[in-house]
Amino acid sequence: MYAIVKTGGKQYRVSEGSMLVVEKIEGEIDTDVNLQEVMMLQGDNGLLIGAPLVDGAHVEAKIVEQVKGPKINSITFKPKKNIRRRYGHRQPLTKLQITAIVAPESA
């Protein structure tokens, strides 16, 4: 069984037991999280496609770690004006362990 889940503006294919790195979700380590935006669900009963979401379906996950992404460095300047700026960014990320995919009652 697998599902397509939307979180952080992106879509991910998940199955039970898989690890997933997503945009930061607030919470402590070993906290349970429900991902409510299930867009598609493939299971024993066939394929369920939402319009846009599958009603009654959700994915249960556990927060494993709060991490930062790779460092992104950039430089901007304006020629002949003596204006230079250097900046960097590290995106906060969350590692999730998928524990269960819950199908709706009607499926």
Is a pLDDT exceeding 80 seen at residue 107?
no
> Measured between alpha carbons, how far is 29 from 9 in angstroms, rounded to an integer?
22
Residue 8 is assigned to a structural domain of this protein: yes
pLDDT tens per residue, range 29-88: 999 999 999 999 998 878 989 889 999 999 999 999 999 999 999 999 999 999 999 999
pLDDT of res. 106: 65
Enclosing domain of residue 59: 2-102
- DSSP assignment of 10-75, as one string? EEEEEETT-EEEEE-----TT-EEEE--EEEEEETTEEEE-SSS-TT-EEEEEEEEEEE---EEEE
Residue 33 is assigned to a structural domain of this protein: yes
Residue 30 is assigned to a structural domain of this protein: yes
How many structural domains are present in the chain?
Answer: 1
Residue 107 is assigned to a structural domain of this protein: no
Is a pLDDT exceeding 60 seen at residue 104?
yes
Q: Give the chain's end-to-end CA distance (angstroms, integer).
A: 13
- 20, 40, 62, 73 from 89: Cα distances, Å: 21, 33, 26, 7
pLDDT of res. 46: 87
